Structure 1
C-alpha cells in the first residue's frame, strides 16, 4: 500500500490543527488494526457485487495483483459502479479515512466522485464523498474522511448548526456495506482501474469535558495553534499598521488602467460602459475606456461573512459581549435559514465577528477603514472586480468594477419541483414577473454606473436534467399555472385525450382527469412532450428576465444566473440566446474543459470557485480540497491559468473574500474559503499567487491568443436521451 504525499501532508496537518487542548486527554485506539480491507479484488471477488450504471466491469491482472476495471459511458449523468459487500457490513467507527487506489486508464481527464456508504440524508451523503480529477494515465491514492477530525469524542457531544463539527462521524458508520465510484457529468467514455479500498488511520478518542467553549473572542477555533493566528487586540492593530505599509509599497499592476483594464493593450471603441467583444478569436470584457478587461475578482466582499448564530449555542463562545456596550451593535436577528439546524427555527440571534474584529482593529471608523483597505488590497493583488453579494457601499465608491446581484423572491413555485436552494419558479404565474420587476426597481441607482460590470439575476437555480421541470409540473396540483399551460399545449397538439393516451401509454379518462392527476408518465414514451415543455419553461424564464432587465438597464450586461452542477443543452442554448454572458460556478481543479455545446458562442464568467485546507484553524475544507495553504496557492494559479487559456472565459471570481466562521454561517457552512482569515489577516501564500496571476494575466492571455496557445474545450457529445441518476445533479458546492 502506498500513501501519496498529499495524503501524508493532509493527515499531518489535520493532527497539527487538533493538537491543542482537544487532544490533551486523548489516547490512540491500540486495539484497532491500522488498516481494514474492504475490497481488494483478489481471488474470490464476485463481480456480481459490483452494480453498474451505464458502465461495465471486469477484473484485470497486472504486476501480480488483480484490479477492477470500470468502463463508463455517457448516457447517465453519473455513470459508474456501486460495490457492495456480499454479506453483512463493516463497523468503521474507529477509522478516520477510507482510501482507494485508482488509475485513469482512459485518454480523457476524469472528474470522479468517490462515496462511502449510502446515507439517506442528502447532506450526509455529500459529506461522505470526495471529488477529484484524474488525468489520463495518472494514479492516485485518494482519502475520504468519514470523521470530521482525526479524533472523536468518547461520549456524545451535540454540536449544532455546523456543516462540519469536530469529533463527529459524518454519518452512522456502524453498518457500512458499500462504496460508489462515478464520473461526474461526463462528455466522454472513461476507463478506471480500482484497487485496495480500505479503512485506515484509527481515530484517537477524546473526553468531551473541557471542550466547550471552543471559539475565542475573535471567532477563531480555540483548541489549535497555527502560524498567523490572532492572539490579542494588539496583534490586530499591529497587523493593520504593517499591511498599510505593504500595500503602499505594492500598488496595482503598472499595466492596469483606472478600471483594471489593460492600459497597454489595444484601443477599442470607448462606450462609457462595460461590454463584451471577441478579439483575436477569444472573448473579453471591454471596459468603458475601450480597453480589454479580464475580470479577476472575488465575491462576498463585505463585513458580515463571519456572522454566526448564537441561539442555543451560547456556550460555544468564550466571549460574547454585553448588548449595552459598543459591541452590542454587532448582534442581529435573522430569519429561518435555508438548511441545517437553523432551518428549523423561525428566528435566531447572531453575532458578527467580522465587524467586531474590525472594530477592535480600527476603532469607531472601522467601516471606512474596511472599505479603504479592501479596495487597496484588491488593486495591490491585481484584482479588478467585486463579485456576487458584495457590500453596496463598497461597490458605489467608483474605485473597483462590480457586479450587481438581483434575487427574485416571493414567487409561486412549481409545487413538485425540488432543488438545493428551493423549488423552481412557476414562470407562468404573474408573481414571477411582478417580483422580478420589484427586485429590479431597487437597483435603479446602478444602471448608469460605468463601474457596473453587469447583473447576475439569481444564483444556482435547479434546472435539473432535460425534461425534469416538465415532469415536476405534471406531478403538481391542478391549480398550478404551469400545469394549466402544459395542458393547453397538449390539447393543441393531440386534440383528444385518447390520442395522448396512445402516445404516452396512459389511461386518463379526460383532460380534467389529467389535470387532476399527479401521476407522471413513462419518460421515454412522453419524452418529446416533456422536452418541449421543459424548453418552454427555460425560454420563458430567460426571455422574461432579459425583457424586464433591459427595460430598467438597457446598457447593462445580463451576466446570467450563475449556473451550477450539470446543466442541460437546453439551458445552455437558451441562456446563450438571452444573456450577454453565461455565468457558471465551477468547483473543480481547472476549467480547461469548460466549453459550450455545438453552435453556441458566448463568453463565460466563472462566478465561484475555491480550494480549502485544514491547516489554519478551519473545520471544513470547503468544496474542493487542498492539502495546505501552499497548495491552495498553487491550485489558484493552475485554475486561473486554465481560465486565461480558455477562449470563452472572461473572468474568474473566487468565493469568497473572508473566511467562514468555525461555528458556521446560517446554513452551517464553515469552510476555509477566505483570502483573508476571520481576523481580517490575508493568507500570505494565496495572496502571493493571486498577485502573480494578476500582474501578468493580460500578457499571458493575449500572447496565448497571438501564438496559437489558446486551448479549445472539447464539444460535449449530443445525446437524444440522458438517464437521470440520483448523483447526476447533486450539489457540488
Structure 2
C-alpha cells in the first residue's frame, strides 16, 4: 500500500477543524502511487467540521496545468485550466499557524511514478497583492541515485511562511507540469555491506572493517578525555543543588515553590535527560523480501549472523524477511562479545554525554529507563480492551502484572506508561462502532446506561427520538443500532476515555504503588480535541507526552500546560539532520541542516524545557539512525519502506556524531543549574 500527499498550500489544524489546504492526494493498495489515481483536494474547515472538493482529472504527461482555489464567506470553489471541478457552500474559520507551501508530510510520502516540475504557487488574501512562490527543485546538486531515497526532492523545496493571516477571500493559484519520476531500479544495488548508500561519498565513510576499529579507538580516547561527570548520582540526581529529599528507593515527584522536580531514589533533585531506543542491538530492521537487489550484500541466514534476520517483525503475518545490518557492524567492531560490549559502551556514552539514562522503547540493565507497557495480548472491543467487562478486566490486569512484576522493585525504573500516542486516544469513530456492535457487550451497555441516566435523565422516549431508534425498554436499547447526534458522541467519548484511563492508572498503581505513572505519551494536537489532554492528565502522576516541534513550547503549548496542575515529561523529541538530502536519509517534518545545527536546536529546546516550572525531564528520540531503506512495516519492490531518518546520536555504523553530541553534552551538564537559576528568579 502506498499513500502520497503534496500540499500546494496548507494552513490548518485537523483536529481543531480550522484552516484550509489545497493538495494532491493519492492512495493505492499497490506499492507505488500512479498518475492514473492522482486526485486534487481542497479542504476547508469552519471550526465545527471539514468539507471537501475533490477532483480526479484525466492527467497527461508534460502538460501545463493551472489550478485555482477560492475561499469566500459563502463557500469554496475549485478550477483546473479554467474548468470548474466543484464547489462547496459554508463558512471558514482561519488557523493561526504557519502557512506551508510545497510540503509532503512524512505520514503520506509513499512512492509515486510522477512528480511536479516548473511550478509556482500564488496566494492572495483579502484585497492584498498576491504572494508568488516559485518552487525550484531542491537538492539539485545531489546525485540522482541519492535523490531516489527522497523522491520529494524532485517536487521542490518546501516553503514555510509564519505570520500569514488569511482574510477572505483567499485565492490560491498553482501552475505545474507532471512528469515521470526517473526509474530508481537502474541504480541497483544501493546499499553497501555496511548499510551505507553506495552513491554517498563523504570523507568519513566506512570502507573497510579497519575503519570501524580506528573510529572505535578514537572514540575511546575522546570519552576518556571528557570523563564521566561527578556532579550527579547514579540515577541522574544533581549533587550540588543545595538541598536533598528523603530517598525512598524509587523516583518520585516533589514541588519547590512553583517548580516541579523529579527526586531520585537516593533523594537528589533531577531534571531527567533520557535517550530512547538504547541500545537497540537488533532494532530497527529493514524489510528485504521482494527487493533483495537493493542490497550489495546480505549476511548469511545461518551461523553467527542468523539472529540479525527476522520475519514479520511488526506482526504483519505476510512472511516478510527483515535484516538488521547495523548489528552486523557491531559484530565487526566487537567480535563474539558484541552484545555485552555494545551495552557497556552505550552506558558509558550516555553518562559521558551528560544524560541521566535511557528513555522509552528499550532498556539497559542497572541503568535508568522508562518502560512502555502494552495490551497486545488483550482482545479489543474496537480499538481498546473493554474495561467494563470483568473478564477482560481480569485478563488486562494479569497482562500488566506480568509485564511489571520483573521490575516492580527496581530503583532503575523511572516510571510506567501503557500504550503510545494516538493508539490510546478514544475517538468518536470508535464510540460509533461500539454503539453499532451486535448484541450487548459490556462497553456498549455502559455507554447506553451513561447516556440514558446522565444526558437524558432516564427519559427513554426522549433518547430514542434523539437517537432515531426503536426501543421500549433498556434491554431493547442495548441491542439497537443508534445514530446519535454529535454532541452525544463527544460526551460518550469523554466518559469512555475517563473510565478507560482511570482504570489503567488505578490498576498499575495497585500492582506497583511505588513507581510513577506517565499515561500514554499523548501528542498535543494528535487527538480529537483538548479534552484528551485534560483526561490524560487526570489519570497519571506525571503527564508524559511526545512533541516533535522546533520549540519546547509555543503559546498554544504553554496554554495547554497551564490548564493542568501536573508535572510534565517529554518522552520523544528530535531534530534529525537532513544535509539537503545528500546523505540519503529522509527529511523529517522537524529537521536540522546538519549535526551542528541539530545540536544547537537541542541546546535551545532543552534550556527552555529546564526553565519551565512544570517540566521535569525530556527524552531524545533516538540512539541510532534508522536504516536507509526504511524500518517497515511492509514489503515490495520499492527503495524505501517506512521511516528512514537520521535520528541517532550514533550513525548506522555505530560511530558518534561528534558535532551533535558535544553540543548536547555542554547543555546537559548545565541543565540542573539552569533550572535552579530559573527557580530562584
Q: Does 1:222 align with 2:201?
A: no
Do the aligned partners of residues 264 and 473 (structure 1) sit closer, same or farther apart at CA in structure 2, a change above 3 Å counting?
same
Q: Which stretch shifts more, 565-574 or 242-251?
A: 565-574
Higher relative contact order (CA 8 A, sep 6+): 1
Structure 1 residues 635, 227: CA separation in 2 closer, same or farther (over 3 Å shift)? farther
Residue aligning to 1:522: 485
**Could you tell me how far apart the structure 2 residues matched to 1:117 and 1:548 are?**
43
Residue of 618, 622, 625 corresponding to 2:588: 622
Q: 2:519–2:544: 8 Å Cα contact kept in structure 1? A: yes
Q: Which residue of 1 aligns with 2:108?
A: 123
Counterpart residue number, 1:689: 663
Per-residue deviation, residues 550-592 of structure 1 (Å, max 9, x unmatched) = 2322111112111124244433333333211111010111122
How many Å separate the matches in 1 of 2:578 and 2:549? Answer: 18
Which residue pairs with 2:282 in the alignment? Answer: 304
* Alpha-carbon contact 1:148-1:165 (below 8 Å) kept: no
* 1:500-515 equivalence runs, <5 A: 500-502=463-465, 504=466, 506-510=468-472, 515=478
State the Cα distance separating 1:431 from its structure 2 match.
2.5
**The 10-residue stretch of structure 1 (217-226 or 373-382) with the greater mean CA deviation from structure 2:** 217-226
SS across alignment from 1:426: coil
Aligned-pair CA distance for 1:332? 2.3
Displacement, 1:689? 1.7
2:299 to 311, 321, 326: 321
> Shift of the alpha carbon at 1:647?
1.4
- Using the size of structure 2 for normalisation, the TM-score is 0.74
SS in 2 for 1:363: helix
In the alignment, which residue of structure 1 is the partner of 2:342?
370
Equivalent in the alignment of 1:410: 377
**C-alpha offsets along residues 486-517 of structure 1, whole Å, 9 cap, x if unaligned?**
12333445445421134x26253556665455
CA contact (8 A) 2:150 2:585 kept: no
| Partner Cα distance (1:74, 1:449) in 2 | 51
Distance 2:62 2:197 in 1: 25
Displacement of 1:199: 7.0
Partner residue in 1 for 2:362: 390
CA distance in 1, matches of 2:185, 2:18: 50
Normalising to structure 1: TM-score of the pair?
0.69
Q: 1:649 aligned to 615, 628, 638, which one? A: 615
Question: For residues 126 and 192 of structure 1, what CA distance do their matches in structure 2 show?
Answer: 33
Per-residue deviation, residues 610-656 of structure 1 (Å, max 9, x unmatched): 11233262431234122222222222122212211221111111111
CA 576–454 in structure 1, closer or farther in 2 if over 3 Å, else same: same
SS in structure 1 at match of 2:350: helix
Q: Is the 8 A contact 2:522 2:544 kept in 1?
A: yes
Residue 166 (1) aligns with residue 149 (2): yes
Q: Given the superposition, is the C-alpha separation of residues 349 and 90 from structure 1 closer, same or farther in structure 2, using an over 3 Å criterion?
A: closer
User: Which residue of 566, 570, 579 corresponds with 1:602?
Assistant: 566
Unaligned runs of 5+ in 2: 1-7, 10-15, 22-43, 68-93, 116-130, 634-641
Deviation for aligned residue 1:300: 0.7
Contact 1:406 1:440 in 2 (8 A): no
Q: What's the offset of the Cα at 1:474?
A: 2.4
Kindly report the root-mean-square deviation, in angstroms, between the aligned alpha carbons of the 2 structures. Answer: 4.4
User: Secondary structure of 2:541's partner?
Assistant: coil
Q: Could you tell me which residue of structure 2 aligns to residue 424 of structure 1?
A: 384
How far residue 695 of structure 1 moved from its aligned partner, in angstroms, is 1.2
| Alignment of 1:672 onto 2:639 | no
1:551-562 mapped onto 2 (5 Å cutoff) = 551-562=510-521
Match of 1:634 among 595, 600, 605: 600
- For structure 1, the residue ranges without an aligned partner over 5 or more in a row are 1-37, 40-51, 58-71, 99-107, 129-139, 184-188, 338-342, 416-422, 708-733
Question: Within 1, Cα distance between the matches of 2:547 and 2:49?
Answer: 17
Q: Is the 8 A contact 2:17 2:46 kept in 1?
A: no
Q: Secondary structure at the match of 2:310?
A: strand
Q: Is the 8 A contact 1:153 1:205 kept in 2?
A: no
Q: Deviations over 1:447-470 (max 9, x none)?
A: 111121111211114465885543
**Residues 1:180 and 1:433: Cα distance change in structure 2 (over 3 Å):** farther
Q: Following the alignment from structure 2 to structure 1, what is the Cα–Cα distance between the partners of residues 332 and 62?
A: 43
